[in-house]
Amino acid sequence: MKRKLMAAAIGVTAAFAAPLAFTSEELNFDAYRQMLADGNPAELFEMEGEELWVTARGPKNATLEQCDLGLGPGVVEGAAAQLPRYFADTGKVQDLESRLMHCMETLQGIPSGEIIGGKFRQGERGKLASLVAYVVTHSKGKPIAVDVSHPKMQDMYAMGEKVFFYRTGAMDFSCASCHGEDGKRIRATHLPNITTNKGAAEGWTSWPAYRVSNSQFWTFQHRLWDCFRQQRTAEPVFASDVTIALSVFLAAKSNGYEAQWPGVKR
C-alpha cells in the first residue's frame, strides 16, 4: 500500500514537471477531433439512448416519453443546456443523470439503488449513459442557460465552489490544484483553468464525451468520478449532492457558452 502511494506521488510530481506549452501532439489531437466531429462515435450511444427512451421497460413496462427534464413531460430539445436545475416535484436540484434516474424509477419502476450501486458502463447505469448521449445531443449548439436564482441552486453553487477548493486525500490536492491555473498540462492533456468562466465552460460544454483512447462514452458523472480518483480522494457516490454541486458550479460559470455535446476526447 505504502509503495503504491509512493508510486502515485512520483507519478504526479513527474506529471507536474512537464512543460506548460501545447505540444504538437496536443495540436494534432485538436485536428483529429475536428475530423471526427462529423462522425462522432458517440452517435452509436445516442441511437441506443433514443431507442431506450421510447421502449417500454422495467417492472412498470413504461417508456420514458413522459419524463420531465425541466421543460415539460417528454421535452428533450434544449433540456440539457438548462441542467442542473431545481425541480419542485422532488424538492431537489438534479443534474441530467439524477433526473433520468428519477424518471426511470418513477415511470418504469427501475430502482435508483441499482444504478447508484452499479458500475459505469454496465447494466442500468450503462443504459443511463446512452440516454444521456441521446438527451445532450438535442442541446448541441445551444447556449448554456442554467438558472441559479432558486435558493437551493445558490446553496448548491456555494457547495460546489467550496468542494472545488477543498484540499483532501493522500496528496492534499483540491480540484484547483490541477485546474486552478492557465496553461497547465498532465502529459499531453491540457487542463482547463476552471476558476475562470472560460475554463469551466471548456470542461462543462465538452462532456459528456466519446473517449477515443478507450472507445468509451463517458457522462459528466463519470468524468467527475475519475477526477476524484486523480485527486487520490474518496470515490463520490453516483449522483450524490457533492457531484451535483460541482456540476452546478461548472455549469453556472459556463452560462452563455455553446454546448458542444457530445464531445470527443483523447
Minimum CB separation from ligand HEC for residue 177, in Å? Answer: 5
Residue 140 one-letter amino acid: K
Residue 258 Cβ, how far from ligand HEC at the closest point, in Å?
14
- Residue 185 annotated as binding? no
Whether 33 has a binding-site annotation, put simply, is: no
Shortest Å distance, C-beta 224 to ligand HEC: 6
Taking the complex as a whole, the smallest distance from the CB of residue 175 to ligand HEC amounts, in Å, to 3
Distance linking the first and last C-alpha atoms of the chain = 30
Report the residue number, 106 or 230, with the smaller CB distance to ligand HEC.
230
- Marked catalytic residue, from 225, 227, 258, 266: 227
Nearest alpha carbon to residue 66 among 81, 58, 76: 76
Q: Name which of 197 and 230 has its Cβ closer to ligand HEC.
A: 230
229 annotated ligand binder:
no
Instruction: Give the nearer residue to ligand HEC in terms of CB position, either 76 or 194.
Output: 194
Q: Is 222 annotated as a binding residue?
A: no
Which C-beta is closer to ligand HEC: that of 38 or that of 235?
Answer: 235
Cα 236 from chain centre: 13
3-state SS track over the chain: CHHHHHHHHHHHHHHHCCCCCCCHHHHHHHHHHHHHHHHCCHHHHHHHHHHHHHCCECCCCECCCCCECCCCECCCCCCHHHCCEEECCCCEEECHHHHHHHHHHHHHCCCHHHHHCCCCCCHHHHHHHHHHHHHHHCCCCCECCCCCCCHHHHHHHHHHHHHHHCCECCCCECHHHHHCCCCEEECCEEECCCCCHHHHHHHHCCCCEEECCCCEEECHHHHHHHHHHHCCCCCCCCCCHHHHHHHHHHHHHCCCCECCCCEEEC
Residue 85 annotated as part of some ligand binding site? no
Known active-site residue 227: yes
Closest CB 253 distance from ligand HEC, rounded Å: 11
Nearer to ligand HEC, 58 or 169 (CB): 169
* Interaction site with ligand HEC (CB under 6 A): 12, 164, 173, 175, 177-179, 186, 189, 191-192, 202-203, 206-207, 223-224, 227-228, 230-231, 246, 265-266
Residues at the binding site for substrate are 223
Residues at the binding site are 67, 103, 175, 178-179, 223, 227
Residues at the binding site for heme c are 67, 103, 175, 178-179, 227
The residues carrying an active-site annotation are 227
